[in-house]
């Protein structure tokens, strides 16, 4: 069955992704901003806004004659609001769990907030007709944490918009690109330490950071002065910048929760044919397995190892071409539209008439 989708953006203060299959055969996208998904004005404000935003979602679902609503984490309030709406309308409910479900244990503090968050997430997970997760490790952790039926879980990986993120025909003037905010879980200090070693090995390397300023860091000015820092840019511009890079930096801090994460930007690098330069926790991880099993770049657990491997690829055009080709071949498997459509079609097909 074809599906009409309600897409609610997860960027900044706008709530998480929600897909709403409709009974008719048309395909379209509707956007709506409900309220602050990260409760940036406080948990109390988010709770007080829940009734109004739930009523708004109910109106949208009724208008689309929806059979199912899919609500994404990280915000616990958006999935809870979708759960309420699905039960009122007696339609299917799917919880789509992103990598940030675990990351928030590191990035978001506050005892009261996290008690509420954990309770809402457990309620949503145990009430869902289906739970989607982006990696196998995250799936197993969810199953254990919330004692879920394994048959209720599905692997639906992140992907990239391949109509936007695609290889460029022109040259690639950026040696290493870091795309994204300077979030604490990205181990920026470790990346900068690695780049200091790399610049010693290859003094003419061009490194660009897009999405933040250099002021939060304590590295020597001699290191920071070699890096070009740019502010955040719109997605279309970001896609053009990614296509100019030879290596895309992906980094995670050493906390255990990041072993189950593969960020969306990883897939955007791959879609542009940009091999991955990864710095993450030692030992096994989802990111390491994907990169090494598919030969999509390199994975390192120390700054020195990162610098050595990056220098080797940047100095060997034949090796870089092989890795870039592997990325482009893999990207067809991680087309975000196709991944979402397959998952959605499966869910709608399994729903019994209500």
Q: Is the pLDDT of residue 65 over 50?
A: yes
Q: How far apart are CA 270 and CA 179, in angstroms?
A: 13
Q: Is residue 165 part of a domain?
A: no
High-pLDDT (> 70) share of the chain, %: 79
pTM for this entry: 0.81
Residue 345 and residue 326 in one domain: no
Residue 312 and residue 184 in one domain: yes
Which whole-number Å values give the CA distances from 333 to 57, 108, 157, 163, 294, in the listed order? 32, 32, 10, 14, 12
Q: Is residue 167 part of a domain?
A: no
Q: How far apart are CA 161 and CA 287, in angstroms?
A: 20
Two tokens, residue 227? 């890096």
pLDDT band at 105 (very low <50, low <70, confident <90, very high): low
Q: What angle do CA 25, 27, 30 make, to 5 degrees?
A: 130
Residue 135 and residue 197 in one domain: no
State the pairing for strand pair 68-72/18-19: antiparallel
Residue 207 and residue 300 in one domain: yes
> Mean of the pLDDT values across residues 268-297?
96
Residue 119 and residue 225 in one domain: no
Residue 285 and residue 343 in one domain: no
Residue 294 and residue 346 in one domain: no
Q: What is the pLDDT of residues 107-136, one digit of tens each?
A: 666 677 677 778 888 999 999 999 999 999
Q: How far apart are CA 40 and CA 272, in angstroms?
A: 34
CB 61 within 8 A of CB 89: yes
Q: Is residue 22 part of a domain?
A: yes
Two tokens, residue 160? 């990239």
Residue 155 and residue 12 in one domain: yes
Q: Return the CATH number at 110.
A: 3.40.50.2000
Residue 188 and residue 304 in one domain: yes
Can you give the residue range of the structural domain that contains 40?
5-159+335-350
Q: Is residue 307 part of a domain?
A: yes
Q: Is the pLDDT of residue 39 over 70?
A: no
pLDDT number for residue 319: 98
Provide the H-helix boundaries in 64-76.
Answer: none
When comparing pLDDT for 319 and 78, which is higher? 319
Residue 78 and residue 202 in one domain: no
pLDDT band at 311 (very low <50, low <70, confident <90, very high): very high
pLDDT number for residue 9: 27
Q: Is residue 219 part of a domain?
A: yes
């Amino acid at each position: 069955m074809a599906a009409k989708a309600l897409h609610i953006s997860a960027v900044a203060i706008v709530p998480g992704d929600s897909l709403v299959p409709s009974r008719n055969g048309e395909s379209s996208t509707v956007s709506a901003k409900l309220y602050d998904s990260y409760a940036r004005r406080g948990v109390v404000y988010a709770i007080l806004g829940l009734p109004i935003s739930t009523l708004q979602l109910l109106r949208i679902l009724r208008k689309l004659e929806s059979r199912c609503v899919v609500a994404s984490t990280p915000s616990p309030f958006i999935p809870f609001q979708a759960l309420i709406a699905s039960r009122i309308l007696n339609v299917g409910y799917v919880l789509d769990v992103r990598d940030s479900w675990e990351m928030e244990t590191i990035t978001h503090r506050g005892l009261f907030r996290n008690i509420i968050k954990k309770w809402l997430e457990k309620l949503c997970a145990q009430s869902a007709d289906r739970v989607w997760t982006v990696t196998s490790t995250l799936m197993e952790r969810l199953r254990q944490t919330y004692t879920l039926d394994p048959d209720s879980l599905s692997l639906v990986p992140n992907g990239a918009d391949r109509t936007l993120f695609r290889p460029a025909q022109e040259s690639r003037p950026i040696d290493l690109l870091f795309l994204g905010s300077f979030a604490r879980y990205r181990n920026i200090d470790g990346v900068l330490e690695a780049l200091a070693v790399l610049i010693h090995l290859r003094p003419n390397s061009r490194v660009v950071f897009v999405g933040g300023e250099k002021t939060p860091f304590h590295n020597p000015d001699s290191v920071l002065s070699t890096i070009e820092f740019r502010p955040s840019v719109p997605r279309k511009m970001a896609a053009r910048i990614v296509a100019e890079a030879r290596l895309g930096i992906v980094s995670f801090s050493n906390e255990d929760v990041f072993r189950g994460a593969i960020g969306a930007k990883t897939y955007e690098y791959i879609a542009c044919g940009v091999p991955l330069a990864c710095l993450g926790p030692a030992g096994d991880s989802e990111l390491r397995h994907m990169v090494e099993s598919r030969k999509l770049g390199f994975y390192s657990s120390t700054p020195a190892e990162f610098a050595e491997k990056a220098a080797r690829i940047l100095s060997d055009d034949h090796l870089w071409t092989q890795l870039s080709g592997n990325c482009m071949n893999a990207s067809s498997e991680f087309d975000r539209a196709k991944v979402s459509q397959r998952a959605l079609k499966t869910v709608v097909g399994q729903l019994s008439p209500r």
